[in-house]
């Protein structure tokens, strides 16, 4: 018996535990959803009722309807901006315009979302970028083909991916571009390296917050690279405004209106781990707590930024940078965990099955869990578990990086003092 236990310990890997856990949670999610299509599990999909065909790909069909008449920032096409803010940079609307053209959104409005040609083109679009992400993560994962495939497949049944696919959110596209940058910004091949800079600029033109990943180049004192990314970003972000320029609303009008929309959206939202809550959803008595949370998250972001500089282990450095961007951004939203998939794969490449790694793995599972546990007193236990996991993961990595930072600083200054 002891020999069997020792053999299991020798062969057991972090990803084996992860695959098993995600399989169980995914089956629970599927069975529960099949049993009650309008129950708790629709929260994972971002729907209110699975039996109603209203929420599929809404992060594409609303922008497509706005873009249909090429007057995206000033028209009054449905839905109203209060329901779905026009806070994207124009590159997203240019892409959505072509979806609008395939389904005649100009005449049909949002009812065009039911057309077969629209559903086919959107599915192909999302599947293409999903495959790109799958292949990238698969190549990144170490081990045998079966383990690599099952590990990445398990990541793709996470609530973040399921929800992003169902809503057609551009976070999938932004994640692919961001992951390519984080993998290739230090590549020795100049062409691939430059391509990674363009990828980050495009990711920023889609979701804005990925631009903060460029901090890794500042760490490496690659200031010329930062400048080139800035140039690429301004081209990707501002050139598409020309597409929506009209006699009534010129280039500058569109730019100013877009910036105003982003500012308005940011002011009315607050970052809160894995959810963006409207300010008005909190009572007056809770406003102080909300403000304290925002301050706490900004402190977390600053600490992440500082300690990431001294962290030499790539997956830990990337995690800390992701925490930085998440805690600073009020536009990251519910889809941000998609970006965590890359450092999670790197984490699974760790050979050591330590207690610390097992605890971290537990938080990863709770973070990506697709199954909605029963609510208690109307409160989401699953949502609470995700928020606790996020903070716990940050604190574990922060503590580890503080120790690394301390030794790096001591080595640097103590050695200087010794030489003097």
A 10 A CB-CB count for 287 gives 11
pLDDT computed for residue 49 by the predictor? 45
pLDDT computed for residue 385 by the predictor? 87
Maximum distance among all Cα pairs of the chain, rounded to whole angstroms: 81
pLDDT computed for residue 280 by the predictor? 44
Contacts 24+ apart (CB under 8 A), 392-398: 392/363, 393/319, 393/360, 393/363, 393/364, 393/367, 394/300, 394/304, 394/323, 396/356, 396/359, 396/360, 396/363, 397/307, 397/316, 397/319, 397/320, 397/323, 398/300, 398/303, 398/304, 398/307, 398/320
Q: How many angstroms separate the CA atoms of 141 and 153, rounded? A: 12
In the chain, the N- to C-terminal Cα span, in Å, equals 60
Measured CA distances, 376 to 49, 156, 372 (Å): 21, 28, 12
State the residue for tokens 């006699």. 247
Structure letter (DSSP) for residue 221: T
Structure letter (DSSP) for residue 373: P
Kindly compute the dihedral angle of the four CA atoms of residues 258, 59, 343, 345, in this order, to the nearest 10 degrees. Answer: -160
DSSP-derived 3-state class of residue 83? coil
Of 127, 26, 118, 17, the residue nearest 371 (C-alpha): 26
pLDDT computed for residue 35 by the predictor? 84
Bridge pairing between strands 269-272 and 275-278: antiparallel
pLDDT computed for residue 133 by the predictor? 94
Measured CA distances, 166 to 126, 290, 294, 408, 412 (Å): 10, 30, 30, 45, 50
Tokens representing 115?
């057309």
DSSP H helices in 111-250: 116-140, 145-155, 159-167, 171-184, 190-207, 215-219, 223-238
For residues 371 and 25, the answer to whether their CB atoms sit within 8 Å is yes
State the residue for tokens 């102080």. 288
Kindly compute the dihedral angle of the four CA atoms of residues 41, 333, 201, 313, in this order, to the nearest 10 degrees. Answer: -80
For residues 167 and 201, the answer to whether their CB atoms sit within 8 Å is no
* Concatenated DSSP letters of 246-267: -SSS-HHHHHHHHHHHHHHHHH
Residues in the chain, how many?
420
pLDDT computed for residue 65 by the predictor? 86
pLDDT computed for residue 279 by the predictor? 45
Q: What is the pLDDT along the chain (420 residues), one digit of tens a residue?
A: 555 445 555 667 889 999 999 999 999 988 988 888 777 777 666 654 444 555 578 888 888 888 888 888 888 887 766 667 788 899 999 999 998 888 888 888 777 888 888 888 999 999 999 999 999 999 989 889 999 999 999 999 998 898 888 888 898 999 999 999 988 998 999 999 999 999 999 999 998 888 888 988 998 899 999 999 999 999 999 999 999 988 888 889 889 988 888 877 766 555 544 444 444 444 555 666 667 777 777 787 888 888 888 888 888 988 888 887 777 665 555 677 888 899 999 999 887 788 899 999 999 999 999 998 888 877 778 888 888 888 899 889 888 888 877 776 676 666 555 545
pLDDT computed for residue 332 by the predictor? 58
Structure letter (DSSP) for residue 394: H
pLDDT computed for residue 285 by the predictor? 55
The model's pTM:
0.85
pLDDT computed for residue 276 by the predictor? 42
């Amino acid at each position: 018996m002891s020999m069997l236990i020792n053999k299991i310990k020798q062969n057991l890997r972090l990803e084996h535990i992860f695959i098993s856990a995600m399989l169980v949670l995914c089956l629970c999610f599927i069975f529960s959803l099949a049993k009650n299509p309008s129950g708790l599990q629709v929260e994972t999909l971002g729907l209110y009722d699975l039996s109603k065909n209203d929420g599929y790909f809404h992060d594409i069909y609303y922008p497509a309807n706005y873009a249909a008449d090429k007057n995206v920032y000033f028209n009054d096409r449905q839905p109203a901006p209060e329901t779905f803010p026009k806070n994207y940079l124009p590159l997203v609307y240019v892409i959505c315009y072509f979806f609008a053209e395939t389904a005649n959104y100009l005449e049909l409005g949002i009812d065009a979302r039911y057309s077969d040609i629209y559903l086919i083109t959107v599915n192909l679009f999302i599947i293409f970028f999903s495959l790109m992400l799958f292949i990238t993560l698969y190549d990144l994962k170490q081990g045998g083909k079966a383990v690599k495939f099952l590990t990445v497949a398990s990541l793709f049944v996470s609530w973040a991916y399921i929800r992003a696919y169902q809503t057609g959110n551009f976070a999938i596209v932004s994640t692919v571009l961001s992951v390519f940058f984080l993998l290739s910004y230090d590549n020795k091949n100049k062409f691939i390296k430059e391509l990674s800079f363009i990828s980050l600029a495009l990711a920023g033109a889609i979701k804005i917050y990925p631009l903060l990943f460029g901090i890794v180049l500042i760490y490496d004192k690659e200031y010329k690279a930062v400048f080139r990314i800035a140039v690429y970003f301004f081209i990707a972000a501002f050139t598409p405004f020309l597409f929506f320029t009209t006699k009534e609303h010129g280039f500058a009008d569109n730019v100013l209106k877009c910036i105003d929309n982003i500012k308005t959206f940011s002011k009315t939202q607050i970052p809160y781990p894995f959810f963006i809550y409207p300010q008005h959803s909190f009572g007056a008595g809770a406003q102080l707590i909300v403000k304290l949370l925002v301050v706490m998250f900004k402190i977390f972001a600053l600490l992440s930024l500082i300690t990431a500089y001294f962290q030499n282990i790539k997956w830990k450095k990337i995690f800390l940078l992701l925490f930085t961007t998440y805690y600073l951004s009020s536009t990251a939203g519910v889809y941000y965990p998609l970006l965590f998939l890359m450092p999670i794969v790197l984490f699974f490449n760790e050979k050591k099955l330590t207690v610390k790694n097992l605890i971290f793995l537990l938080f990863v599972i709770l973070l990506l869990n697709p199954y909605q546990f029963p609510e208690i007193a109307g409160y989401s236990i699953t949502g609470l578990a995700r928020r606790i996991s996020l903070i716990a993961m940050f604190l574990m990595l922060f503590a580890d990086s503080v120790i690394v930072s301390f030794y790096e600083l001591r080595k640097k200054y103590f050695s200087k003092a010794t030489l003097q």
